[in-house]
Chains A and B, each alone.
Chain A
């Protein structure tokens, strides 16, 4: 689609959105669950299209942001105690732990390597053998199948110095908690996660909570269309689950990826920054694959972490805006973050700050 057609389409959708918001006698709050949507909305300047009674708020769909502070602490303690090399996705490097971030640890001589693909982590383990190499496992259902594939490959190749420290999470448990909130009228559902788990599985939002949800892609027009659909259902009280990302998401998801995940991982309880412990919302290595579990094979005593009492990441992850945090833009900035919502490339505070809403 050329730029002219795209702007015209966007303008038309923006008009529909304004009209629908005009029909509502109440303020409308839509939660964008996924951090990638938060960034995409800001990058395309979509908020400049919305009328004042429409608010888009962010949810807990940022894997870095919902990871507890003591995960960083545990990783650093493992690296120190076992002389291990930590391998991580880039975003985790600047998240503050209790004694500094992974970047701080690296500047003090700690071994920290950044990768884009978990397969590269396994390559690093081979290269550094026999030194323990620990992959810091954060991510949702999108990332997990690739980790599962990596672990299976490590098993086949007999790489015995490769470990995974799992903080993997699944999206449905927190979504059920958020759906009960009275002040949310609908959900912009994650595109990448849904590519794995499908769109049919969100029916509980309608059946149990009467709220609409739309699976959306990441192009500006994808998002505007999805918002228009959510608003129509919210304003006329006709909640449904709609898949607006059919070019990537099928109703029943990606069976191969789900099977891979199911073979290597099983559900466990997990602690979410902002939401506390949610039963069955985490993933842990199971059966023969538990030989790669850093938690059991590289145990350390991690003292409980103290979050800065002024830090409001917890609230931001459940729908508050960054400006409600007294640290936002002052003591907490991208170069010197207090909480992970400011560091992560999908973090709400990072998006607001980067795109000038300070």
Chain B
């Protein structure tokens, strides 16, 4: 991977793709990693504190702050809970840090707080500590939120990339690209009428069921920034194995396909905030789908492919018409096409 040579932060550094990766690996880890940080998990399992505790943090700067299917508040709860869930930890406690721009309308703050409360209650988590800061107008864009989460690991199952083997199957818990597309469309610059909503939701109910697979559950990840493409490439590069997926097996809502054709944004690269990618043992894929049956967060779940010895470290897609191509790691920020 090329080294970080930028002298200024660009938007791509926050995109979750290659530029972000370079920033973390070249600037942050060398200074701060003392053992836990380097493996860059969704959330970290802490030792030496008695019960197995998972801990994570995330900051939310989504724009616009209100979008179809949610707002920055509900996202701040779901996103952090989902990072815990992907470490097989039941989300239990959250902290809530608010940075508010002077002049931010009180009624909008009330709506966001209401969403936070609703999301937390339905996810079964309690917000136990928090902080509020206000900065002068222009120093922040309306509202930024940070949530840290603590989760309890109740299952002996420890999903991790090291457990993945050739032949394992890859499952996605539902249609992809909804959140990223919904946010792109609801920005002021685009004035389309679309019935497209963010999929923002807590995935713990899905994970809880998949944990019943026992050691057959090898790995979990929520495909947020950079979408499914980023997560699959991460698996390929962490394991050194190839990933082979079938385009016609990937669940995609019609509205996402339509939006992607017009905007020129690949739905495989668009963020998801209510989905997980699970790697399960060969032969257990149907069992996994059966376990998820009836769980509304996992409707549309599908097996999309598997882990292979072919094309190591690469993700290869068999297209709808039977051709084949590589799914590359996304880079930088998403941009609409021009002609």
Contacts and interface: CB of A to CB of B under 8 A. Distances in A.
B12 interface: yes
B116 to A, nearest CB: 31
B338 A91 contact: yes
Contact count band on B: 35 or more
Nearest to B323: A45
A116 B189 contact: yes
A63 B338 contact: yes
A107 B316 CA distance: 35
A3 B338 contact: no
A138 B338 CA distance: 8
B12 A335 contact: yes
A115 interface: yes
B321 A221 contact: yes
A354 B233 CA distance: 13
B318 interface: yes
Given A107-B9, A345-B264, A355-B328, A10 B323 contact: yes
B319 A43 contact: yes
A63 B8 CA distance: 29
Interface string B60-78: 0000000000000000000
Contact of B10 (A107, A220, A221, A224): A107
A6 B319 CA distance: 11
A355 B336 contact: no
B331 interface: yes
Contacts of B337: 89-91, 345-346
B11 A354 contact: no
Nearest to B315: A356
Interface in B300-339: 314, 316-326, 328, 331-332, 335-339
Nearest to B316: A356
B323 A91 contact: no
Contacts of B9: 107
B248 A120 contact: no
Contact of B320 (A6, A49, A108): A6
Contacts of B322: 7, 10-11, 45, 49
Contacts of A344: 338
Contact of B8 (A49, A107, A335): A107
Contact of B319 (A44, A92, A115, A140): A44
Given A90-B338, A91-B337, A220 B191 contact: no
A211 interface: no
Contact of A220 (B314, B320, B328): B320
A346 B317 CA distance: 20
A89 B264 CA distance: 12
A142 to B, nearest CB: 6
Contacts of B264: 345
Contact of A44 (B8, B19, B321, B339): B321
Interface of A: 3, 6-7, 9-11, 35-36, 42-49, 63-64, 89-94, 103-104, 107-108, 113-117, 120, 138-140, 142-143, 192, 220-221, 224, 333-336, 344-346, 353-356
19 contacts: A45-B319, A48-B325, A49-B323, A63-B339, A90-B335, A94-B335, A107-B10, A107-B11, A108-B8, A116-B263, A142-B339, A220-B321, A224-B321, A335-B19, A353-B328, A356-B316, A356-B325, A356-B326, A356-B328
Given A44-B323, A63-B338, 6 more contacts: A10-B321, A36-B339, A43-B325, A114-B335, A117-B191, A335-B332
